[in-house]
Amino acid sequence: MSADTLLPFLALMAVASYFQTVTGFGLGMIVMGATSSLGLAPLASVAAVVSLVTLANSAVALPGRLHHVDWRAVRAASAGILPSIVAGVLLLDYLSNAAADLLQLLLGAVIVYGGLSAALRPAPLARRSGDGSFFVSGVFGGLLSGLFGVSGPPLIFQFYRQPMSLLEIRCVLILIFTVTSSTRTLFTAWQGQLTADIWWQSALAVPAVALATVAGRRWPPPFSAPTTRRLAFATLILIGCHLMLPTLLRWAQAAAGA
CA distance 208 to 245: 31
Same domain, 106 and 181: no
pTM attached to this predicted model? 0.81
d(CA 9, CA 168): 30
Whether 211 contacts 14, CB under 8 Å: yes
**What pLDDT sits at residue 1?**
61
Over range 131-138, report the average pLDDT: 93
For the chain, how many structural domains are there in total? Answer: 2
φ, ψ (nearest 5 deg) of residue 223: -95, 145
Which pLDDT tens digit goes with each residue over 193-235?
788 888 998 999 999 999 999 999 999 888 888 888 888 888 8
Q: How confident is the model at residue 3 (pLDDT cuts 50, 70, 90)?
A: low
Residues 86 and 156 in one domain: yes
> Do 102 and 149 lie in a common domain?
yes
Same-domain check for residues 12 and 81: no
- CA dist 190 and 53 (Å) reads 18
Say if residue 75 is in the same domain as residue 193. Answer: no
Q: Is the predicted pLDDT of residue 2 greater than 70, yes or no?
A: no
- Domain with 228, as residue range(s), is 71-163+222-258
Residues 54 and 90 in one domain: no
Q: Which residues of 151-184 are buried (b: 16+ CB within 10 A; e: fewer)?
A: bbbbbbbbbbbbebebebbbbbbbbbbbbbbebb
| pLDDT band, residue 185 (cuts 50/70/90) | confident
